[in-house]
Chain A
Amino acid sequence: MATGTYEGDVYAVQETAVIGSIPNAKLAGGNIYCSVDRTVAATGDGLDLGSTHKVGKLPKGAIVLYSIVYPIATATFDAPDATTGATTATLGISGDANLFGAITTLASATPQIIMPSPDGTTYTNRNKPLQEAVDVIMTTAAVNWTTAEGACVMIFYTM
């Protein structure tokens, strides 16, 4: 074995700057934007696992850096508040339901930092910009929601 000297994908682009690398220049210091949204489930609208919550619209070209997700309840005015059941979820788009990552149990009030996890079909690594404007969907799993409980989703991205 031996030591190696590596360069990150973005660093390498910066080291040999050419016209063709400009579109991704924002990865090395672009503005950060945030889409923040909240959603609360209700008995009348359906609570079962497999429910979908649309929690963001991202523009073409967005590169999601990370998301912060935590549970809320209307009774506590969106303060972090653990859900009754151990509901989990995925955060993604139509066609790749966990493109932006997996959300573990929301039965803990601690905010979760969610990282993108492309599946290699359309997006092969985390630096790939969105190819079109998308709706962001949180799909619940594992355990049904409880009424009046939900989640806050903050998606941080560059362009």
Chain B
Amino acid sequence: MATGTYEGDVFTLQDTPVLSTLPRAALGGGVVYCSTDRCIPDGTGLDAASTIHVAKLPKGAVVLYSLVYPIDSATFDAPDAATLAVTGELGITGDTDLFGDIGDINASELPQVVIPKPDGTTYVDRTDPLEDDVDVFITTADEAITTTEGIVVQMFYTVAGKI
């Protein structure tokens, strides 16, 4: 065994910049954008497997991470643990957990850091930009949402080609 000297994928591009690497230049220091949304799915269906649309992302977006936490209309969107152990996935049509898994929002009101998890079909690593404009939605699981309770999703992303 021996020690190694490695370069990350993006570092390598930066070290030998050529015209074809420019579209991904944002990965090496692009502006960070945030899409933030809230939803309290009140009344029209609360069961597990409900979907909650929480963002529209542009083609070229590279999601860095998302912050997710439970809320209740009674506490004005302060972090507030859910009544039941609802979990979820954050993703898009065709890859419903592309942006990661949401753990039990009953266990804690603490914000969760949710990290992308490509499945290798369209997106094979975490620096792949979105190939289309997409709607982002949560698919709930395990338990039904309780009325007046909901969720906040803040998605932080950069955009390939913008610096």
Chain A interface (Cβ within 8 Å of chain B)? 31-39, 41-42, 45-59, 68, 70, 72, 76-80, 111, 113, 135, 144-145, 152-154, 156-157
Residues in A with CB closer than 8 Å to B6 are 39, 41, 45, 51-54
Asked if A111 and B115 make an inter-chain contact with CB atoms under 8 angstroms apart, the answer reads yes
User: Which B residues are CB-close (under 8 A) to A153?
Assistant: 8
Q: A37, B124: Cβ atoms under 8 Å?
A: no
Q: Of residues B5, B9, B29, B127, which shows the largest number of chain A Cβ atoms within 10 Å of its Cβ? A: B29
**Beyond A53-B6, A79-B115, A156-B32, is A37–B11 a contact (Cβ under 8 Å)?**
yes
> Is A33 a contact of B10 with CB atoms below 8 Å?
no
Q: Is the CB of B125 within 8 A of A57?
A: no
B residues at A contact (CB < 8 Å): 1-11, 14-15, 27-32, 62, 64-65, 113, 115-120, 123-127, 156, 158
Q: How far is the CA of A56 from the CA of B127 in the complex (A)?
A: 14
Beyond A46-B1, A47-B1, is A77–B123 a contact (Cβ under 8 Å)? yes
Residues of B within 8 A of A31 (CB): 31-32
A75 to B7, CA, bound (A): 19
Contact pick for B8, options A34, A37, A45, A51, CB 8 Å: A37
Bound CA–CA A45/B8 (angstroms): 13
Would you call B120 and A38 a contact (CB within 8 A)? no
B contact residues around A36 at 8 Å (CB): 10, 27, 62, 64, 126-127, 158
- State in angstroms the CA–CA spacing of A33 and B14 once bound together: 16
* Contacting residue for A38 out of B3, B31, B123, B126, CB 8 A: B126
Q: How far is the CA of A111 from the CA of B65 in the complex (A)?
A: 10
B3 touches A48 (CB 8 A): yes
What chain B residues lie within 8 Å of A72 (beta carbons)? 126
How far, in angstroms, from A39 to B125 measured CA to CA in the complex?
A: 11
Q: In this complex, what residue of B is CB-closest to A49?
A: B3
Which residues of A have CB within 8 Å of B7? 39, 53-54
Q: How far is the CA of A35 from the CA of B25 in the complex (A)?
A: 10
- Given the interface pairs A37-B27, A79-B117, the reply to whether A135 lies near B11 with Cβ below 8 Å is yes
- Complex: A79 Cα to B98 Cα, angstroms: 9
- The reply to whether B1 and A152 contact each other, CB–CB distance below 8 Å, is no
How many angstroms between the C-alpha atoms of A46 and B27 in the bound complex? 26
Q: Name the B residues within 8 Å of A68 (CB-CB).
A: 64-65, 113
